[in-house]
Amino acid sequence: MEFYVTFERAVELITSQEFTLPSQQVPLFEAAGRVLREDVVADRDDPPVPVSAMDGYGVKFPDVETVPSRLKVKGVVPAGVDRPVEIERGEAVKIFTGSVVPESVDLVVPVEWTEEREGGVEVKKSFPKGANVRPPGENYRKGQVLIREGTVLGAPEVGIAASVGRSFLKVSVKPRVGIVVTGSELLEPWESFSSPVQIRNANAYTLYSLVREAGGEPVYFGVVEDSREKTLNALSEAFDVCDVIVTSGGVSAGDYDFVKEVVGELGIDVLFYKVQVKPGKPVLFGRKGNRFFFGLPGFPVSVFTSFNLFVYPLLMKIQKAKEIFKPKVRGVLVEDYSRKKAERTEFVRCSFTFSKNRFLVSPLKRQGSGVLSALIGRRALMVVPKGVKSLRKGDSVDLILVKGL
């Protein structure tokens, strides 16, 4: 076991673990958020033929070089008709978005620049040759790899898969992630307080949501009282059915921190304990066969931050995702930032805006590990490297986007 490792070393130990979940076929309606385990290839050109990008009139270019121009409307080409009306000079054909463009048509004039009356149409604006016509293959070409293996599927990817005739996709099986929350003082949201020292259990629901965001299947084992026997039993049960187990609380140095005590008895090979980060120093990471274990601190902000920094990359890696880390961008500080000590890498909670092609970063005033309410809204983590005590307004900083924009 390595003790009190740097942030970089912790990430190295986590991401060097070799294990990949099996794959399965799922219908498209269930594919969003899953990690693709095959390439998706175009089965034909899209569009397969020239189609109109607008509702309007198909015309020949010489007829509209000078406007206004009055043309005879020869016919109509509805969308879905594969034998469109051909035209000669002085003629136009009424056409709609998605309609096949006849070979004799040079361009499409949008309907708002025309006026139809008495069997003819007046064109009021000139357009270049090829205007408003989508050429064959504009979207993609037959045989083109459209979605690469390892992509996390979103709405556009699912739509593309449907457009190439795929009704099922091969994806990673969802990792089953056991959530064990420790603390005799914790109550579930529906329970009533019987003592002023009791607090509601936010960590389980934060972790449950984070696991889902990472493509996992959360399995909640409830609140475990501060008891060595109960902690051991809960973790044993979790290891029987889950790929990854995440706990909150019980890994620090207190008399009732039993998670740290029982990991050896469970046969977990602890790879590191404690990380030089703020918040979330008492993080424990280990492995037992093809099961992984994360012991996270008990403070809610530490849980949120530690999950995004350490648990998320492992979940994405074992699903064989190409990108396993949360997005990182460069931002510009809008105010000075300083701290008293610099022996740890700090992940400063901040708000940000995007203006004039750059992220503008403002550290939050409330940085306490228990202030989960400060993370509501558009928030990110500003990286302050180990050894850096102060940053100035205008300095460039790394910004980890741990929440959706």
Is residue 405 one of the residues assigned to a domain? no
CATH code at position 210: 3.40.980.10
Closest to 163 in 3D by CA, of 183, 186, 144, 189: 144
385 and 245, same structural domain? Answer: no
* Among candidate residues 117, 150, 172, the one where a domain is terminated: 172
Is residue 2 one of the residues assigned to a domain? no
Full-model pTM: 0.92
| pLDDT higher than threshold 80 for residue 255 | no
More confident residue, 251 or 27: 27
Residues 219-247: pLDDT tens digits? 999 999 999 999 999 999 999 999 999 99
CATH code at position 371: 2.40.340.10
340 and 241, same structural domain? Answer: no
Is residue 64 one of the residues assigned to a domain? yes
Distance CA 331, CA 400 (A): 10
197 and 221, same structural domain? Answer: yes
Is residue 1 one of the residues assigned to a domain? no
| pLDDT higher than threshold 90 for residue 62 | yes
29 and 164, same structural domain? Answer: yes
Residue 156 contacts by C-beta under 8 Å, 6 or more apart in sequence? none
307 and 205, same structural domain? Answer: yes
Closest to 108 in 3D by CA, of 91, 90, 129, 88: 129
CATH code at position 127: 2.170.190.11
Q: What percentage of the chain has pLDDT greater than the value 70?
A: 99
Measured distance between the N- and C-terminal CA atoms of the chain, rounded to whole angstroms: 38
28 and 17, same structural domain? Answer: no
391 and 313, same structural domain? Answer: no
Handedness of CA 379, 385, 390, 392 (dihedral sign): negative
307 and 222, same structural domain? Answer: yes
184 and 302, same structural domain? Answer: yes
Is residue 4 one of the residues assigned to a domain? no
What is residue 211's predicted lDDT score, i.e. its pLDDT? 98
Distance CA 350, CA 363 (A): 4
291 and 189, same structural domain? Answer: yes
H-type alpha helices, 242-323: 259-262, 300-306, 312-318
- Its domain, for residue 306, covers 9-21+175-318
Residues 327-351: pLDDT tens digits? 999 999 999 999 999 999 999 999 9
Is residue 198 one of the residues assigned to a domain? yes
94 and 191, same structural domain? Answer: no
What is residue 235's predicted lDDT score, i.e. its pLDDT? 96
CATH code at position 28: 3.90.105.10
305 and 205, same structural domain? Answer: yes
Distance CA 180, CA 295 (A): 9
More confident residue, 339 or 119: 339
Distance CA 74, CA 120 (A): 8
What is residue 189's predicted lDDT score, i.e. its pLDDT? 92
Give the count of domains, the chain. 4
Residues 274-314: pLDDT tens digits? 999 999 999 999 999 999 999 999 999 999 999 999 999 99
Closest to 384 in 3D by CA, of 277, 236, 249, 254: 277
What is residue 405's predicted lDDT score, i.e. its pLDDT? 62
Is residue 189 one of the residues assigned to a domain? yes
Distance CA 312, CA 173 (A): 16
Q: How many residues does the chain have?
A: 405
Is residue 3 one of the residues assigned to a domain? no
* Among candidate residues 172, 196, 229, the one where a domain is terminated: 172
